[in-house]
Amino acid sequence: MGTVTLTTENFDEVAQGDGIVLVDFWAGWCAPCRRFAPVFEQSAERHSDIVFAKVDTEAEGELAQRFNVSSIPTLMAIRDGVIVFAEPGALPEPVLENVIEQVRGLDMDDVRRRLGSEA
C-alpha cells in the first residue's frame, strides 16, 4: 500500500478513523530516520490493513510541536483515534512487528475505560 504523507490539513482526518495508523515523524537530514525508512516501508507492504503515514517534521513543525516530538524518528501508533504508543528511536524490524502485534491485540474498550478513569 505504501505510505501516506500527513500534514496539518489531513492529520486529524486520517488519525481519527477506525483501525490502526502508524505515524513516522522524521526529517531528511536525520540519519536514523533514513535508516528506519526502509523498515517502515517494508512493514507497510506487509500490513495492507494498516495506514502507514509519515510526518516530515521540517515541513510540519506544527504537528511535531502538537505531539511533543522532540527526538526523531518517533513512531506513534493510533488505534481507533486513540494514541496507544509513541516512542522515539529507529526501531529494528522485529521490534516494529512486535509493536504492530501488540497494537492489534489491544482491547480498545479497556483502553478507553482506563483513559476515562485518568481524566
Q: Which residues are catalytic?
A: 30, 33
Cα–Cα distance between 16 and 78 in angstroms, integer? 8
CA dihedral 92, 2, 58, 78 (to 10 degrees): -70
For 18-47, b where at least 16 C-beta lie within 10 A, e where not — what string? Answer: eebbbbbbbbeebeebeebbebbeebbeeb
d(CA 75, CA 89): 8
